[in-house]
Chain A
Amino acid sequence: MERTLAWQIATVTAIRPETPRVKSFTLTLPNLLEHRAGQHYDVRLTAPDGYQAQRSYSVASEPERKGEIELTVERIEDGEVSTYMHDVLVPGDQIEVRGPIGGYFVWQAHLGGPLLLVAGGSGIVPLMAMLRYRAATGSDVRARLLYSSRTISDVIYADELADLAGQDNGKVEIFHTLTRAQPTGWSGYSRRIDLQMLTEVAEPVGPAPKTYICGPTLLVESVANSLVEIGLDPAHVKTERFGPTGGVPRGG
């Protein structure tokens, strides 16, 4: 069936700072189509003279959340849409969106597990949707997340991730690495993701994990190559990459 993804005027109902450079935007839509964890929305801005700019942003919320979606957006210094969302938008504002989009980088409970998730920076967003969805549906698949951030203050969803890791009899395990600076007493990893780190995180997950990698191009390229090197089937390794200009994951 041909279905057009129409533009809709969403209303911003809440804006929550996640880190100094990242905010989450809660949107209500007049015609909300249920998304799958990992999908994204397009955002379109229109100036009074008709000039438009568009970008894609991953949905952070789980599909079970009714009536609204949450987009988590990193402010890109020379960005056109992320700076508007961070600097101009206030609750009550309206913004044009369409989605959900993307049918490959998604996880649904019937796909089973175990789940191996690897994130760099704001690449955590679609993976967070998967973890939230996993929790909301009561799925008991084992999940391990390896999450690379520059410093402790750049870790998005830090508290919620800690909560997730404490629940479910340890079936969700979170591993952080901080690449630029570590707080005193830091017990996580302190380097860029490498083969040894991936081996330590991936092997206990069990054979043939459903693997999702999202982050900057270089991280995703290197992690995907390493995971294939340690024996994962490329057909089960799904990637989303964003270039140095930020913007968003997904591609052709």
Chain B
Amino acid sequence: MANGFISRGFTGRRQANMAGRVPPGQYVTPDFPVLSAGPTPRVPLDEWQFRIEGLVDEPAEWSWEAFLQLPSREVVVDIHCVTKWSKLDTRWEGVSVDTLLEAVAIEPRGQFATVYCYGGYTTNLPLADLSDGKAFVAYRYDGQPLAPEHGGPARLVVPHLYFWKSAKWVNGIRLMDADRLGFWESLGYHHRGDPWQEQRYRGD
């Protein structure tokens, strides 16, 4: 650690009234940057599905039509990207992961999840970071259907962790008995990604 280092001549452009609201090393942007590792997958709604599988009594599966019938809610949250931007008061509509998990009986050892997506992206989370109101599958953003480049038809949103955990083009959740690293997590990013602990990279 380089504790005590001061950058000569740097005073900073502090953003007003952000104390306690923006994690360390983040800045607030009014934009909504798009960051993805490859081309945006196009998922026709009549082929879209969402599954919960793995260590459950019986996998659950929803078509787009069935998914829209699930109880939804509007959520306003701050989001924090590991590339340093934060966006405040983002407004989503979607289905709580708790609601989805009610459709299955999870085996007690199924405490870790791989979230998998159209296009091949994956991310890993402990079940505890997906349940108890901490995560939802969103299909509307700011009153509009979620755009493909922002993860539409539907994306996971886990606002208390860095935004790479909020997997775009989400296709399902697989419950497992061990934490298995996802896409960015196996490429040097932190396995959990708590922005308040500044868990950006492996070992942080």
A interface residues with partner B (beta carbon < 8 Å): 2-9, 42, 44-48, 51-56, 80, 84, 88, 93-96, 101-105, 217, 221, 224-225, 227-228, 234-235, 237-239, 241-245, 247-248, 250-252
Contacts and interface: CB of A to CB of B under 8 A. Distances in A.
Contacts of A225: 39-40
Interface in B1-37: 1-2, 5-14, 24-25, 27, 29, 31-37
B39 A56 contact: no
A105 B83 CA distance: 15
A238 B120 CA distance: 13
Contact of A247 (B32, B34, B84, B162): B84
Contacts of A242: 33
Interface of B: 1-2, 5-14, 24-25, 27, 29, 31-41, 81-85, 119-120, 149, 162-165, 183-184, 187-189, 200-204
B5 A9 contact: yes
A51 B14 contact: yes
B204 A9 contact: no
B7 A45 contact: yes
A224 B164 contact: no
B6 A239 contact: no
A237 B39 contact: yes
Contact of B31 (A228, A238, A245): A245
Nearest to A251: B35
A241 B31 CA distance: 14
Given A51-B12, A243-B31, A250 B83 contact: yes
A47 B85 contact: no
B34 A217 contact: yes
A242 B22 CA distance: 21
B40 A224 contact: yes
Nearest to A100: B188
The 10 closest A-B pairs by CB, nearest first: A251-B35, A252-B164, A243-B33, A103-B187, A4-B203, A224-B39, A54-B25, A45-B7, A88-B9, A51-B12
Contact of A245 (B5, B8, B10, B33): B33
Nearest to A103: B187
A239 B25 contact: no
A235 B32 contact: no
Contact of B84 (A55, A95, A105): A55
Given A234-B39, A251-B35, A252-B189, 10 more contacts: A3-B202, A42-B200, A55-B84, A84-B7, A88-B8, A221-B40, A228-B39, A241-B33, A243-B29, A243-B32
B188 A84 contact: no
Secondary structure class of chain B's binding surface, majority of residues: loop
10 contacts: A45-B7, A52-B24, A84-B9, A217-B33, A224-B40, A234-B119, A243-B34, A245-B29, A247-B33, A252-B184
A153 B120 CA distance: 40
Contact of B25 (A3, A44, A102, A224): A44
A6 B187 CA distance: 17
Contacts of B1: 6-7
B81 A251 contact: yes
Nearest to A40: B83
A46 B10 contact: yes
B85 A243 contact: yes
A52 B25 contact: yes
A71 to B, nearest CB: 15
B6 A48 contact: yes
A162 to B, nearest CB: 30
Contacts of A8: 2
A51 B85 CA distance: 16
A55 B29 CA distance: 13
Given A6-B1, A80-B13, A243-B32, A248 B83 contact: yes
B120 A105 contact: no
B94 to A, nearest CB: 19
B39 A241 contact: no
A105 B27 CA distance: 24
